[in-house]
Amino acid sequence: MQITDVKTTVLSMPHLSGIQDATIRHLEQGRTQCFVHIVTDEGLEGLGTGGGARAAREIIEGSLKPILIGQDPLNIEQLWDDMFWRIRGVGRKGLAFCALSAVDIALWDLKAKYYQTPLYKLLGPYTDTVPVYGSGGWTHFSIDELIAEQASYVERGMKSVKMKVGKDFGQSESEDIARLSAVRKALGDDVEILVDANNGYYAKQAIRMAQAFEEYNIGWFEEPVLADDIEGLAAIARATAIPIATGEHEYTKYGFKDLIARGGADIVQPDVGRVGGITEWMKVAHLAHAFNLPVAPHAYQLIHLHLSCATPNLRIVEYLGMVEEADRITYTEFSEPVNGVWSPNPDKPGLGLELNPEAVKQYAV
């Protein structure tokens, strides 16, 4: 089997609701997503997705496609290495690695389809059911909107939810506490609340805020400081009993090696659309396991569902309402969480995902 073509589809849905967190300065309206199609001479096609949208498309079609054509798509480790070295001068972190990640996801989807099995079974499942938490809590929400959204996840049977703190680049500390207090009061003591600062605080400030958050019995404190401030992350982790969760802005096993070995993470959060795709995500999960640390993947929930089923040290899977909103338009169908747990469709090969032709017709760029 050989790769005969590598194509991309970019969908832009500007009408979807906006989001804002601690370090997004202005409300970001709509969604734009890049999809990769790897076509073979046997009629099989793999579907992948990643970050970077239009810019990622340029890297995929201009830099990665030429080295993939004519290759055996089952040789994923070899192809990953070829792509890694092709983008060495512009990659390692950031946009180029988002492009590589999207292609790698498509290769794994294709491989599972070739063997006519769901991806999680190809990877070697530890389980077929994983816990999920409802994620959102954007900083532009009023307190009433915040409570309504967080409560809607609980009504769907989720026992954990996540909200944003660090509002206005960490300049609204009293408001952060008031919003957390309101959510705790509304949801009661039996729901786990996770908080995410999206890099919004400084280290000493985050330590002080963690002390205030402890009163509300939160499950983890996510990205309290800039992702590159590993010393700051480690200092916060030492100063509080609240687990520090981070990793969504880290790239490759090498980046996670430094993050973990230097004590910057209690809960490891690789993002399959950034870290280097499924190939690298699984290595990071195993690395975390070697340090006896749990994994809680960031975003890309329909892909992480499969990977999480093959991860013994899984903590929980993020389920973003704003992503679900886009997924309902983008795909023909997908499995959904029920009573706080989630399972892949055991009868669909690969990721079990297919782009909705009507969505492509209406939203393709």
Report the C-alpha gap between 170 and 247 in whole angstroms.
20
> Can you list the alpha helix ranges (DSSP code H) found in 262-343?
277-290, 301-309, 321-330
| Fold match flag (3-116+357-363 vs 121-342) | no
Q: Give CA–CA dist 162/138, Å, rounded.
A: 10
pLDDT at 25: 86
Catalytic residues: 164, 298
Residue 245 CB-half CA count within 13 A: 26
Domain 121-342 is classified in which CATH homologous superfamily? Enolase-like C-terminal domain (3.20.20.120)
Q: How many angstroms separate the CA atoms of 330 and 314, rounded?
A: 27
Q: How many CB atoms lie within 10 A of CB 62?
A: 10
Q: Is the CA virtual torsion 23, 172, 296, 118 positive or negative? A: negative
Q: Using CA atoms, how far apart are residues 317 and 77, in angstroms rounded to an integer? A: 26
Q: What pLDDT score does 92 carry?
A: 84
Torsion (CA) 17, 18, 21, 25 in degrees, nearest 10: -170
Question: Which strands make up the sheet holding 3-13, listed edge to edge?
Answer: 3-13, 31-40, 45-50
> Is residue 324 packed enough to be buried (19+ CB in 10 Å), middle (13-18) or exposed (0-12)?
middle
Kind and range of the H or E run holding 219: strand 218-222
Dist CA 152 CA 144 (whole Å): 12
For the chain, 365 residues long, the average pLDDT of each consecutive 10-residue run is: 97 94 90 96 96 93 97 98 94 93 98 98 98 97 98 98 98 98 98 98 98 98 98 98 98 97 98 98 98 98 98 98 96 97 98 98 96
Give CA–CA dist 200/196, Å, rounded: 9
Phi, psi of 91 (to 5 degrees): -115, -135
Strands (E), 235-355: 244-246, 267-268, 317-320, 341-342
DSSP 215: G
> What does the alpha-carbon distance between residue 309 and residue 206 come to, in Å, rounded to a whole number?
33
CATH architecture of 3-116+357-363: 2-Layer Sandwich (3.30)
Alpha carbon separation from 349 to 10, 109, 121, 150, 164 (Å, rounded): 24, 8, 9, 33, 36
CA–CA distance, 232 with 205 (Å, rounded to integer): 10
Return the bridge partners of 192, or none.
160
- Nearest 5°: phi and psi at 48? -135, 165
Model pLDDT, residue 91: 85
Distance CA 99, CA 185 (A): 43
Residue 259, pLDDT score: 98
* Alpha-carbon gap, residue 167 to 171, rounded angstroms: 7
User: What's the confidence (pLDDT) of residue 170?
Assistant: 97
Give the bridge partners for 38, in sequence order. Answer: 6, 46
Q: Which residue has the tokens 């013994």?
A: 312
- The Cα 248–Cα 254 span in angstroms is 14
List the structure tokens of 216. Answer: 């509300």
Helix (H) or strand (E) holding 148: helix 143-155
Q: Spell out the domain ranges in the chain.
A: 3-116+357-363, 121-342
Cα angle: 230, vertex 210, 94; to 5 degrees: 35
Strand partners, 8: 36
Q: How many CB atoms lie within 10 A of CB 309?
A: 24
pTM: 0.97
